[in-house]
Amino acid sequence: MPDNRSTATPAVPRRALVTGAAGFIGSHLAHTLARAGTTVIGVDRRDPARDQTAAANIAPLHSHPGYLHITADLLTCAVDPLLIDTDVVFHLAGIPGVRPSWGPQFSEYVNANILATQRLMDAATRMRVPRLVVASSSSVYGPTNGGPSTEGDHPRPASPYAVTKLAEEQLCLAHASRSDCSTSVVALRYFTVYGPRQRPDMFTHRVLHAAMTGQPLSLYGDGHQRRDFTYIDDVVTATISAAGAPIDTGIVNVGGGSNASLLDVINIANALVGREIQIHTDGARNGDVLTTRADLRRARSVLGWQPTVDLPAGMRAHMRAMSRSAHRSAA
Ligand code: NAD
Ligand code: UGA
């Protein structure tokens, strides 16, 4: 684990439900919780017996007796039994990705990000779950003037995906404000997360893949887009901190503190492998904003958290993990 500054380890809950546990962020979160002694139920609609990515993501959890994996779709399954005696729900299940959301898959986004969330919040209210932490997204801010986005800024989502994420977080907050709801909600707006097991559609994975294989990289636009890239271990620490944060309900940014351009990422990858990635320039994509940048004051005060891993260190760790996984596949 690359760690260039010190970070406090947050207290872990006794028993938790992690939705989206076979995904990139959910599997890291479930693993960290299980290792720290939390009894974790992980639920995901992808079946690890049939889906290689899901199987690889949850492989590190096999050795933990405190982890139970359930393959189920939150849109249709009985949710109440998943919540019995649960202290906190970490709701990471969803359909991510900005660019494909313009296509016919939009109904999938609505089903997973809005309708399934409605079912989960209904059940959490009924089962009197004390806290739900939901994975929201920096994409809800939309285009900015380049300065840091604060949680009180007016959201201007610029893609169908971002619209569903804004609906998702607001839906959770609306439930939490019901007079008969004792579930407090913390919505975390994650900023472009990277690191081991990152989704292969995402930029950092694709850059490192191009660097390691010599295959060309498609660059959408001129590469001057900037992202507040956030390392996965920092995201997991912030998410666990949110379970115990002393607030009733609210929204908190989770960003990496390293607002870098896509060209910066390419340069770091070039330096890591000692050769230049071959780039194919392609058109900028609808819904992609020029800049994301997190104001982290609220994260510091409410979660007692700040990012610890800078981009070069995080990318080195990400590349090491990709090399290990390539060697395993080749063996
Ligand atoms: P991921 O696709 O790797 O993981 C999401 C998981 O949710 C998948 O395994 C999927 O099968 C599962 N899922 C989807 N719909 C489901 C349903 N109806 N029932 C059960 N399981 C379902 O994505 P990720 O990158 O790990 O993102 C996790 C969450 O964080 C998503 O909600 C995403 O919108 C949000 N987010 C991610 C990023 C990022 O940079 N990765 C940034 C901001 C927000
Ligand atoms: C990421 C996640 O994919 C979303 O699920 C999440 O909600 C969002 O972060 C967030 O922060 O909320 P994005 O910022 O688009 O979305 O991250 P990447 O998919 O890694 O793309 C970053 C940039 O690289 C974009 O400008 C994209 O157009 C560009 N890109 C991506 C390329 O130039 N080429 C590629 O092959 C892929």
Nearest CA to ligand 2 atom 7: 137
Distance 202 CA to ligand 2 centre (A): 6
Domain assignment present for residue 34? The answer is: yes
- Two tokens at 59? 């492989």
Q: CA 118 from chain center: how many Å? A: 19
Just list the catalytic residues.
161
Q: Does residue 153's CB lie within 6 angstroms of at least one atom of ligand 1?
A: no
Q: Which atom of ligand 1 is nearest to the CA of 27?
A: 26
Q: Which atom of ligand 2 is nearest to the CA of 162?
A: 7
Domain assignment present for residue 5? The answer is: no
Q: Does residue 262's CB lie within 6 angstroms of at least one atom of ligand 1?
A: no
Any idea which ligand is nearest the CA of 194?
1
Nearest CA to ligand 2 atom 19: 202
Nearby residues of 114 by Cβ (< 8 Å), 6 or more positions away? 164, 167, 168, 171
Domain assignment present for residue 208? The answer is: no
The pLDDT of residue 325: 87
- The whole-chain average pLDDT of the chain stands at 95
The pLDDT of residue 4: 45
How many CB atoms sit inside 10 A of residue 294's CB?
26
Q: What are the start-end ranges of the E strands in the chain?
A: 15-19, 39-44, 67-71, 88-91, 131-137, 184-190, 193-194, 217-220, 226-228, 230-231, 250-254, 259-261, 279-282
Span 134-184, pLDDT tens digits: 999 999 999 999 999 999 999 999 999 999 999 999 999 999 999 999 999
CA dist., res. 158 & res. 287, Å (int): 5
Q: Does residue 138's CB lie within 6 angstroms of at least one atom of ligand 2?
A: yes
Q: Does residue 183's CB lie within 6 angstroms of at least one atom of ligand 1?
A: no
User: Probe ligand 2: pick from 161, 198, 202, max atoms within 8 Å of CB?
Assistant: 202
Nearest CA to ligand 1 atom 9: 23
Q: Does residue 279's CB lie within 6 angstroms of at least one atom of ligand 2?
A: no
Nearest CA to ligand 2 atom 30: 203
Distance 32 CA to ligand 2 centre (A): 25
Select from 225, 190, 212 the least CA-distant residue to 315: 212
φ and ψ of 135, to 5 deg: -85, 100
CA dist., res. 181 & res. 125, Å (int): 5
Distance 261 CA to ligand 2 centre (A): 12
Q: Does residue 26's CB lie within 6 angstroms of at least one atom of ligand 1?
A: yes
- Residue 249, classed as helix, strand or coil, is coil
The pLDDT of residue 9: 72
Domain assignment present for residue 221? The answer is: no
CA dist., res. 156 & res. 19, Å (int): 27
Nearest CA to ligand 2 atom 21: 203
**Enclosing domain of residue 76:** 15-192+231-257+293-308
Domain assignment present for residue 38? The answer is: yes
Per-residue model confidence as pLDDT tens for the chain (331 residues): 554 444 567 889 999 999 999 999 999 999 999 999 999 999 999 999 999 999 999 999 988 999 999 999 999 999 999 999 999 999 999 999 999 999 999 999 999 999 999 999 999 999 999 999 999 999 999 999 999 999 999 999 999 999 999 999 999 999 999 999 999 999 999 999 999 999 999 999 999 999 999 999 999 999 999 999 999 999 999 999 999 998 888 999 999 997 899 999 999 999 999 999 999 999 999 999 999 999 999 999 999 999 999 999 999 999 999 999 888 877 7
φ and ψ of 251, to 5 deg: -115, 135
CATH code (residue 170)? 3.40.50.720
Domain assignment present for residue 27? The answer is: yes
- DSSP letter string, 105-152: THHHHIIIIIIHHHHHHHHHHHTT-SEEEEEEEGGGG-S--SSPB-TT
Q: Does residue 112's CB lie within 6 angstroms of at least one atom of ligand 1?
A: yes
Query: How many residues are there in the chain?
Result: 331
Please give the tally of structural domains in the chain: 1
ipTM field: 0.99
Q: Does residue 198's CB lie within 6 angstroms of at least one atom of ligand 1?
A: no
Select from 150, 232, 240 the least CA-distant residue to 189: 150
Domain assignment present for residue 29? The answer is: yes
Domain assignment present for residue 90? The answer is: yes
- Residue 298, classed as helix, strand or coil, is helix
φ and ψ of 270, to 5 deg: -55, -45
CA dist., res. 13 & res. 85, Å (int): 12
